[in-house]
Each structure stands twice: as structure tokens, then as C-alpha cells.
Amino acid sequence: MTLKHITITGGKPLYGQIKIQGSKNAALPILTSCILGNGVCRIDNCPCISDVDVTLRMLKTAGCRVSRGGSTVTVDASQITCCEVPENEASRIRSSILFLGALTGRCRTASLPFPGGCAIGERPVNLHIGALEKLGVCFEDTGRLEADGRGLRGARVTLPFPSVGATENVILAAVLAPGKTLIQNAALEPEIDELCEFLNLRGARTVRKPDGSILIEGVRTLGPVRYSIKPDRIVAGTYLFAAAAAGGKIRICGLPAAGLENPLAVLKKMGMKITAENSFCEIDSPGIIRAVPYLETAPYPGFPTDLQSPLLAALSEARGESLIRERIFENRFRVVPELIRMGAKIKEEKDCVRICGSQSLHGASVAATDLRSGAALVIAGLAARGATKVGGLEYIERGYENICRDLSLLGAEISLSDGVLAEEMPRKV
């Protein structure tokens, strides 16, 4: 069977500097929010990733005029002609759920299937529905999400959990709703503040209060804007953990350290020399990695769940035992069996994994099962002795513009190839 895959020859430290693509988790809500107003939104530094492609197709289905030239996207939502989001697209990405808030906010009605996305957990939408009901939206249970937003108005919403998507959905529904909305226990991720910055530039009235809650005062309409997406902190963090695992010294340019405080502190505990300035972040990796006795993922500003798999890959090469607990998603250790096939010594214990660092990763044929596990397998391949083939590229391409281009720029021996995945590489037993 021929599968497009990545081939890596490990054992080479990384050196050099790199600029990071625009943030996936900022671009997706910002693009969806274009539905809310008239006029042309021109968005620069928009990442060339498949999740953006799906979102642009859904915007076109809704009636938006969409164009793309490289990393610049324009969206004109002056005419919204359809408030039904198609199953075949929406079921591919999690962030399709944001069309619920955007279409309800603009048209007072929305119909969409339950969202898709990486199989890292059950990923319910109860927090989204509960919050929008507080804003007067009514839902009909037809096997799809059918929203009647004729009674939409501002309200106080307290989220039981600081869900990123639910926070974004309430913002999208509230910016054009009559009255004021206060979101308490709102997610604190920087991508939320970037969405609000984008909306405020269009004439919305949102503010992050000192206690982290978000106050929104509804306005009548939003105007056009030109905006540039900020760098992707998770992609940057992925490359920092790659340098930790492979050794070497790299500089991430154009990335403010803000948004990566916790992962940078963890990298320092792992023995890395970190220099974090306003415009760049640098890691000098001595090649020896200290284990992390205990760490648990948490909502921002805690350690981000999206860097948990890259962390596991790096810790597989550490000296000593690490215990990592995943507290956000219930099925986010799917990279573990693949890392074990590369020689990692990892044991799963309910919502924790125990890693006995062994510096014994070896090449193997492995496959990604979700976006960040794919990136983690690439990191493991950089550190492993011998050659590694990573399949499941469709997952990696959801969030990484061109991981081969980026890591090659840093000296990695990595390439994209079509070829027979299974037979070429003898499976290590």
C-alpha cells in the first residue's frame, strides 16, 4: 500500500533560526467570525493548513466571497445566503462548531452537524449549547444542531469549565446581540484575546476584565478590517521540544515568549538553556535531558495539552523517570504505543503515563493518530538512531504548514515521500 509519509534520519542536532507560521487556533475562530459583518476582511499570515481550507469552503457555502493568495486570505460576508453548514465539511474539523455562534449572531439561525476533529476524546458540545441558551438561543434536537436565535440577547454566562471553543462561541453570538454579555470563567488562552482584538478592530466592544471574565456590549454591525495573524505558539513549542530531543541550538524568530511561559519553564527544568525576549525565543540544548518528576496539563496559563505529546517524545530520551498527567482530554495518549515501538519505555496508568527515559529510541515505521501525536513522532524520529517513517500525514497537515520544510531549515534530515510504508522498514520487535 502506498502512503504519503515523512522519512527522518535521526541523530542530528538542530541549528539555525526559523519564523513560525500563523496560529491555527487563532486563524480558525477569526476566519469564522468574518460572517458577523459586512465588507472585506483581509487576513495576512493565515497558515496554509487543511483546517483553514475546510473553513474557507464552509464560508463559501454560507455565501461569503473568499479569495486566497499565499498566506493572505480575503473574506467578504456582505451576503450570507445559507445558514446550513454541510455535514461533509463540518464533520472534519472541531472548529466548525464556531459557525453556530457566528451564524446565530449574524442571522439569528444556524443549522450544523455535530463537529469533527481529532479523536482525542469524546469532545461534547454541552458547554456551547448551555451557554448559548443563556443568551436566549433555543435548540431543537433533530440529530443536528438547529439553533433559533430570534430571542438572542446579552446575558451573564458562567462556564463550568473554561472551554476555549465555548468561550469563542459565546463571543461570536454576543457581539451583535442587543445588551451586554459577561462571560465568567472564560478561557484565558491568548487565541481568545486575539479573536477579541480582531473583532474590536471591526467595531465590536469586548474587553477582558482583570478577573479574566470577558464583557461584551452588543453593537449593530461590524466593518471591514486588515489584520495579521500572530505566530502559532503550539507550533513554536513543538519545535522547541524538537530541539530539546535532538540537541542543538535554535532561535524562533518573531515569537513573543508570551503564551509559552509554562512550556519554557518546563524546558528549563529539563536542563535547556532558554533565552526569551520580546521578539525571539532561543533554546540551547546540551543533548542531555533531565526527567520531569510530575507535570499535569491544564487550561492556560498551565501546561498546554497540545504540547503534551511533543513533551512525551522528548522525555522518552531523558535521564530518569517522568510522570505526566493529561487533565484536559480523556484520550490523548494515543502516541504512546507508537513511541513504544520506537523503543520508548512508557507505561499508561489511567490519566497518567510514566516514562522511564532511556536514550534508546530507534527508527521504526509509525503512524500519527491525531495532529499533535504526529508532530511528536517526528520529534522522536529526530532523536532516534536510524531511519523513521511517519504515516498519517493528513493529521499533521491539519496544523503544521510544512513541518519538513521547517525542520530541514534547522538541519534535520527529513523529507516527504510517497512510497511503500510497511514493507521497506523491518519492524523492530
Q: How far is CA 373 from CA 85, 306, 322, 332, 358, in A?
A: 29, 9, 18, 8, 20
Q: Helix or strand or coil: residue 63?
A: coil
Beta carbon of residue 125, minimum distance to ligand EPZ (angstroms, whole number): 5
Q: Which of 11, 63, 121, 203 binds ligand EPZ (CB under 6 A)?
A: 121
The reply on whether position 329 binds ligand EPZ by CB under 6 A is: yes
- 113 secondary structure, DSSP code: P
Q: Which of 118, 242, 267, 270 binds ligand EPZ (CB under 6 A)?
A: 118
Beta carbon of residue 2, minimum distance to ligand EPZ (angstroms, whole number): 27
Count of residues that interact with ligand EPZ, criterion CB under 6 A? 25
The reply on whether position 237 binds ligand EPZ by CB under 6 A is: no
Are 101 and 132 in contact by the 8 Å Cβ rule? The answer is: yes
Distance CA 215, CA 293 (A): 39
Of 41, 46, 118, 281, the active-site residue reads 118
Q: Where are the beta strands (DSSP E) in 229-279?
A: 248-253, 273-276
Beta carbon of residue 397, minimum distance to ligand EPZ (angstroms, whole number): 13
Rule CB under 6 A: which of 278-317 touch ligand EPZ? 305-306
Q: Which is nearer to ligand EPZ, 94 or 106 (CB)?
A: 94
Let me know if 64 is a catalytic residue. no
Beta carbon of residue 187, minimum distance to ligand EPZ (angstroms, whole number): 6
Q: In what order do the strands lie in the sheet with 205-208?
A: 156-158, 180-184, 214-217, 205-208
Distance CA 93, CA 55 (A): 8
The reply on whether position 160 binds ligand EPZ by CB under 6 A is: no
Residue 226 has which C-alpha cell? 486588515
The reply on whether position 165 binds ligand EPZ by CB under 6 A is: yes
Residue 363 exposure: Cα atoms within 13 Å on the Cβ side: 16
Rule CB under 6 A: which of 54-73 touch ligand EPZ? none
Beta carbon of residue 265, minimum distance to ligand EPZ (angstroms, whole number): 18
Q: Of 302, 293, 300, which Cα lies nearest the Cα of 265?
A: 302
The reply on whether position 401 binds ligand EPZ by CB under 6 A is: no
Q: Which of 23, 95, 238, 262 binds ligand EPZ (CB under 6 A)?
A: 95
**String of DSSP letters for 325-347:** E--S-TT--TTHHHHHHTT--EE
Distance CA 265, CA 275 (A): 11
Q: Which is nearer to ligand EPZ, 258 or 420 (CB)?
A: 258
The reply on whether position 238 binds ligand EPZ by CB under 6 A is: no
Beta carbon of residue 22, minimum distance to ligand EPZ (angstroms, whole number): 13
Q: Which is nearer to ligand EPZ, 108 or 398 (CB)?
A: 398
Q: Which stretch binds ligand EPZ (CB under 6 A): 11-19, 120-128, 280-288, 342-350?
A: 120-128
Beta carbon of residue 196, minimum distance to ligand EPZ (angstroms, whole number): 15
Are 320 and 405 in contact by the 8 Å Cβ rule? The answer is: no
Residue nearest ligand EPZ, Cβ-based = 165
Residue 176 has which C-alpha cell? 451583535
Strands 387-391 and 365-367, bridge-based pairing: parallel
The pattern of x and - marking residues 360 through 389 that bind ligand EPZ according to CB under 6 A reads -----------xx-----------------
Q: Which of 27, 28, 250, 366 binds ligand EPZ (CB under 6 A)?
A: 28
Q: Which stretch binds ligand EPZ (CB under 6 A): 64-72, 123-131, 238-246, 349-357?
A: 123-131
Distance CA 390, CA 363 (A): 10
- Quote the Cα angle for 222-224-62, to 5°: 75
Q: Which is nearer to ligand EPZ, 282 or 401 (CB)?
A: 401
Q: Where are the beta strands (DSSP E) in 166-239?
A: 180-184, 205-208, 214-217, 225-228
The reply on whether position 247 binds ligand EPZ by CB under 6 A is: no
- Quote the Cα angle for 392-19-367, to 5°: 10
Binding site for ligand EPZ (CB under 6 A): 24-25, 28, 94-95, 118, 121, 123-128, 161, 163-166, 305-306, 328-329, 371-372, 399
* Active-site amino acid positions: 118
